[in-house]
Amino acid sequence: MVLLVMISLSPDSVLRFAKELEMEGDIFRSITEYKRYIYLVPDADSIRYRIVSIYERNGKYGNAIDILREVKRKNSEYKVSIGKLFYRAGYYDSCDNYWSGRLLGLVYLRKGEVKRGMDCLNLKEPPHLKNPAIGIALSAIPGLGRVYAGRPGDGIFTLFTVLIPAYFTYKYYREGSYLLSGVFGGLSLFFYGGNIFGSYISVKVYNTYILDRYIRNIEKWLLP
């Protein structure tokens, strides 16, 4: 009986069982077994990295960081890994403590410091961002600002929402119905204001999308 317990609690069998559970997809039970293995073999850093990768795949960055901090050998691999977890969790300021060189370029890009990030990463081609001021200027013609922001459909719709009330304002004014003319004038002004504000916001949303895609492309080769 004692022999049976000893065999079942031997580190090798615990590790085998943990791997089996992981392969079956029972990841959280496998983590428990990996932790049991670490209890039996405290220096098993490779297993700690394995737990970290499981947590990371499942988006549990906090748990992954807690496990990674227990690693005995805090070498460059440790620094890259923990920085990566902070990066994935969105705590870009914490990455500065662990990363250096080109990896910091990613952090600058995420913080919106495009020029600094590009210098750090030694990149030649900048992301094709658009100028919100141009978006506002173009929105003087209803819908054109949205077309500039990559939303032609919204631009066409905006043109109609501004022009139709504007037409009725003119029509009722000519007919002498000043109340109706005022109502449609207000409506036209409301949509025109929305058009200017929306063009500015649309350009910013477009820039966020383009920058995010640009960074994701860099992450593919820099952050496996």
Partner 1 sequence: MVILLFFVLESPTEPTPTLKNRNLKPVEQFNEGKYLALSFIRLYQLVLSGQQGDVCNFEPSCSHFSYKAIEEFGLLWGLLLSGDRLERCNPFTFHYIGKFYRVGLVEGRGYKVLEKPDDVWKYK
List interacting residues with partner 1 (CB under 8 A). Answer: 146, 150-154, 156-158, 161, 190-195, 197-198, 201-202, 204-206, 208-209
Q: In a 10 Å sphere around its CB, with 0-12 CB exposed, 13-18 middle and 19+ buried, how is residue 155 labelled?
A: buried
Please, which residue, 39 or 209, has the CB nearer to partner 1?
209
CB of 132 to partner 1, least distance (A): 9
Please, which residue, 11 or 150, has the CB nearer to partner 1?
150
Q: Which residues contact 185 (CB under 8 A, 6 or more apart)?
A: 165, 166, 169
CB of 160 to partner 1, least distance (A): 9
CB of 192 to partner 1, least distance (A): 8
Contact 33, 20 (CB under 8 A): no
Please, which residue, 98 or 192, has the CB nearer to partner 1?
192
Torsion of Cα atoms, 163 then 166 then 171 then 175, to 10°:
170
Please, which residue, 181 or 188, has the CB nearer to partner 1?
188
CB of 190 to partner 1, least distance (A): 5
CB of 156 to partner 1, least distance (A): 8
CB atoms within 10 A of CB 169: 20
Q: Which residues contact 153 (CB under 8 A, 6 or more apart)?
A: none
CA-based Rg of the chain, rounded to a whole angstrom? 29
Please, which residue, 126 or 193, has the CB nearer to partner 1?
193
